[in-house]
Structures are given as C-alpha cells and as structure tokens.
Structure 1
Amino acid sequence: VMAEKRDVLEEELYKLKFLGAVGEAFGCYFNKDSKVVSENTSIGININEARKINTHIAVAAGENKVDAIIATMMRNNNAVLVTDEAAGRKIVEFIKEQTK
C-alpha cells in the first residue's frame, strides 16, 4: 500500500510483491516474518538510526495494514502503536492464534 502511494514504478511493485513485502518502515520493506526484503533511500531516519532511539511511536490504521503493522512491530519491540479499532481487533486475533 505504501509503495503504491509513493509512486513506486510498476516493476518495483512487482518485485516487492514477489519478495513478499507486506510493509515499509525506515526505508526498508519487510515480509510477514519481519525480514528486510528490500531497502530504498529515504529522507527520514534509516533503520540503523532508528535502533538507537529508545521509544518509537508507530501510527498505522486499517485492516489492510495489519500484516505490515505486525511485521514492523515484531522488529521494533520498543514501539508504542497507535491504531484504529479494526486493525486492533485483527492484531488481537493474530496474537491469540500465535499463543494457542
């Protein structure tokens, strides 16, 4: 979703989908297991700089972003998530499934 909003070329979108990218943060695209599958240049801080920050505030909403939220939060255990009810419910479902 973020790649489409950033006018990423169709070829790059295909590559990201092929690599299983579900989300983007700090100039990196992650798969559902929180593995970096692609990196790009970014105006903001990069992933190495982000690791030096004690607390992150992650803001993401929508059921369609749950995979991205989970992948990003798995990598950033020092993050506080601000989201909407729809995404929150899906995240709770995911956590319940993982703890069975």
Structure 2
Amino acid sequence: MLILTHTLHLNRPSGKVPIEIRLYQPLPTGASWICNFEIDWPEVRLARHGVGEDALQALVIALQVIGAQIYTSPYHEDGSLRAYDREDGYGFPVPSNLRDLLIGVDKMSF
C-alpha cells in the first residue's frame, strides 16, 4: 500500500521535470521487514527497498536509501534538482557517512 509520495523537480532549459518518489508500507517477510520505494528518474524508474528487524527500522532505512540516491545523483551534483522553491534540501535523511552532502534545511534537520 502506498503511504507517501513526494515530488522533486529537475530544472531543465525546457522547464521543470517532475521526479516522483513513492514509498510503500513496510511488510513482514519472514524474520524481517521490507519497505519498498520507487524514484522516477528521467531515464529510469528506480525500485529499491529498505530491510529491517521491524517495520519502523525498514521504513527508516528506506528513507535513508532514498536520501542517499538523491544526494549521490548527478542531478544533485550539478545543482539542477530542487524540492522546495525557497529552501534547499529534499526532505529525506541520509546515512551518517553521507551527512557532509546535506544542504539547506536537510543540513539543519538530519
């Protein structure tokens, strides 16, 4: 079941290109939990998941994997990706080894 959508925008000369992110409800898979997500990059739909010992851990890990995908993307690197009109950041946490990449409100929050 879909629990969250979030749209980023890729600034291109032809206009803004929406990048939709979808996060799904964590589900039990035997001894662990899985939380699926999708990112609609312009060239490909990325489908991945976070895995945890319980639903909350799977959800947090999925959010961090989304953040890692965004912050290590070529779109972040070239400065063409935006989530908010007035503030920098994308609204997703990252693992501790990527926190030096955070910008704007993400840097203050995560």
TM range (shorter): under 0.3
Structure with higher strand content: 2
Q: Work out which of the two has the higher radius of gyration on C-alpha atoms and give 1 or 2.
A: 2
TM-score (norm 1): 0.24
TM-score (norm 2): 0.23
Higher relative contact order (CA 8 A, sep 6+): 1
Structure with higher helix content: 1
